[in-house]
A and B are shown apart, each in its own frame.
Chain A
């Protein structure tokens, strides 16, 4: 298995632009997580899905952030409009739901908003 796949790996955009980050979880995993990592705030859970359904989005910072999971093999995290303070590394992770299971992380998308 190729592991969790994220695209793009790097994104540089200007303030006000829409940004869409993509994630393909490991086949067979039914939980998917979006995290944001910054020096100041560490690793923050933004939202997670079970069986394509959003379960907890309490970590989504503002209405500018939205996430979807239209099917078991694809998820997006959208920021519209983007702001400089959104600059961070965004990670997607997947796991088997429930039980004592580990999360598998993707390589991350480094977002820079100018």
Chain B
């Protein structure tokens, strides 16, 4: 399978703490994307990192990419209860149009 795999499967933290989730994948990529899914909703794009980038920031989000290890991490700083959701990484497997999603990390931020 070319799917990305997230780790951990579930994460529970207190509001204000940082949350880190990891993604590993198997094939070469053009880009890797992170998405969030609130319960009962569709996925929402958070951030995209290209294969030639090592780190990217967007607000409280920080994404790193290590293509030599085929891994990425998503850091959410100063988490809020509203960040409670499932987070997925998606890799394009070298094809800009076909994405493979991992099984997701379920984040619970306790107020």
Which of chain B's residues have a CB closer than 8 A to the CB of A101?
Answer: 96
Q: Are A100 and B42 in contact, with the CB atoms below 8 A?
A: no
Q: B97: which of A4, A55, A102 is its contact (CB, 8 Å)? A: A55
Interface 0/1 of A84-114, CB less than 8 Å to B: 0000000101010111111111111000000
Query: Given A42-B103, A48-B98, do A100 and B30 touch, yes or no (CB 8 Å)?
Result: yes
- The size of the chain B interface, using a CB distance under 8 A, is 23
- B82 contacts the other chain (CB 8 A): no
A50 / chain B contacts, CB cutoff of 8 Å? 97
Question: Using Cβ atoms and an 8 Å threshold, which residues of chain B touch A102?
Answer: 33, 45, 48
Establish whether residues B42 and A105, one from each chain, have CB atoms under 8 Å apart when the complex forms.
Answer: yes
Contact of B42 among A48, A97, A108 (CB under 8 A): A108
Instruction: Check if A56 sits within 8 Å of B31, measured CB to CB.
Output: no
Q: Contacts of A56 on B, CB cut-off 8 Å?
A: 98
Set of chain A residues within 8 Å of B104, measured between Cβ atoms? 42-43
Contact A48 B88 (CB under 8 A): no
B3: nearest chain-A partner, CB-CB: A42
**Would you give the 0/1 interface string for B9-33, flagging 1 where the beta carbon is closer than 8 Å to chain A?**
0000000000000000000001101
- The contact sample of 13 A-B pairs, CB cut-off 8 A, is A4-B42, A35-B101, A42-B101, A42-B103, A42-B104, A43-B101, A45-B99, A48-B98, A93-B42, A93-B43, A100-B30, A103-B43, A103-B45
Q: Which residues of A contact B (CB under 8 A)?
A: 4, 31, 33, 35, 42-43, 45, 48, 50, 55-56, 91, 93, 95, 97-108
The 8 closest A-B pairs by CB, nearest first: A105-B42, A102-B45, A43-B101, A42-B103, A105-B43, A98-B96, A107-B42, A100-B31
